[in-house]
């Protein structure tokens, strides 16, 4: 009898899933104008962002494109939730990030919600990609010599490009790499929770972006 890898059935338990797509029906120019009008009117919030600006929560804004995004995202987030067995919820927080050259976001998660995501209003890859890292301490076990498969890698990076949308479990530790261009990266982040007024704690888990 020969027993090899193919002899086994495999289960993916506790998988870390990134749902990704692009949105083409959103007016990014309108969102960009809105972003700068918010920045001119408020100092914003200071959470995981370093040298960047983050707006107050805007999911209840009357702005047309924000309302459209909330509607589109709530539909998608609800469908994703149903697919994986999470309860139906609502967008409980949405905010805009404006990150100039040299800014970045420290590793953090989004406690208080169960799905989170980011949409890129104006960005290209050199302006700071979205990075996820595993939190199971596998770096203490998996040999560095391993091939870089989804099973063995320690981190994964997704391009921060205009129109890209990423959704992920709020527990997944993520950071944003440094913007290396002398041009603002503009993105919009959101949380999905059971309750509309659930605020969240954006927990920093390390003190450096790497
Ligand atoms: Fe985040």
The count of domains in the chain is: 1
162: CB partners within 8 A, 6+ apart: 28, 120, 121, 122, 123, 124
Q: Is residue 8 part of a domain?
A: no
Q: Is residue 7 part of a domain?
A: no
Q: Is residue 205 part of a domain?
A: no
Q: Is residue 40 part of a domain?
A: yes
Q: How far is the CA of 145 from the centre of ligand 1 (A)?
A: 31
pLDDT digits (tens, 9 = 90+) for 33-66: 999 999 998 887 766 677 889 998 999 899 999 9
Number of alpha carbons in the 13 Å side-chain half-sphere of residue 116: 25
pLDDT digits (tens, 9 = 90+) for 104-135: 999 999 999 999 999 999 999 999 999 999 99
Residue 110's CATH number: 2.60.120.620
Q: Is residue 175 part of a domain?
A: yes
Residue 146: domain span: 16-195
Q: How far is the CA of 174 from the centre of ligand 1 (A)?
A: 6
pLDDT digits (tens, 9 = 90+) for 156-173: 999 999 999 999 999 999
Q: How far is the CA of 7 from the centre of ligand 1 (A)?
A: 40
Q: Is residue 165 part of a domain?
A: yes
Q: Is residue 10 part of a domain?
A: no
């Amino acid at each position: 009898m020969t027993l090899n890898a193919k002899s086994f059935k495999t289960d993916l338990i506790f998988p870390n899933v990134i749902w990704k797509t692009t949105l083409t029906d959103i007016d990014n120019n309108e969102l960009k104008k809105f972003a700068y009008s918010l920045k001119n009117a408020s100092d914003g919030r200071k959470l995981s962002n370093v040298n960047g600006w983050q707006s107050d929560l805007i999911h209840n804004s009357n702005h047309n494109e924000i309302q459209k995004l909330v509607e589109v995202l709530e539909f998608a987030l609800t469908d994703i939730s149903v697919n994986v067995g999470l309860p139906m919820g609502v967008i409980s927080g949405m905010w805009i990030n404006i990150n100039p050259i040299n800014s970045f976001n420290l590793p953090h998660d989004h406690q208080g919600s169960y799905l989170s995501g980011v949409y890129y209003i104006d960005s290209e890859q050199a302006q700071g990609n979205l990075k996820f890292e595993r939190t199971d301490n596998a770096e203490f076990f998996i040999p560095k010599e391993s091939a870089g498969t989804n099973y063995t890698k320690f981190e994964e990076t997704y391009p921060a490009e205009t129109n890209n949308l990423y959704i992920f479990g709020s527990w997944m530790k993520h950071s944003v790499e440094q913007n290396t261009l002398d041009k603002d990266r503009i993105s919009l982040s959101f949380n999905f929770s059971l309750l509309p007024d659930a605020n969240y704690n954006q927990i920093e888990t390390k003190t450096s972006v790497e």
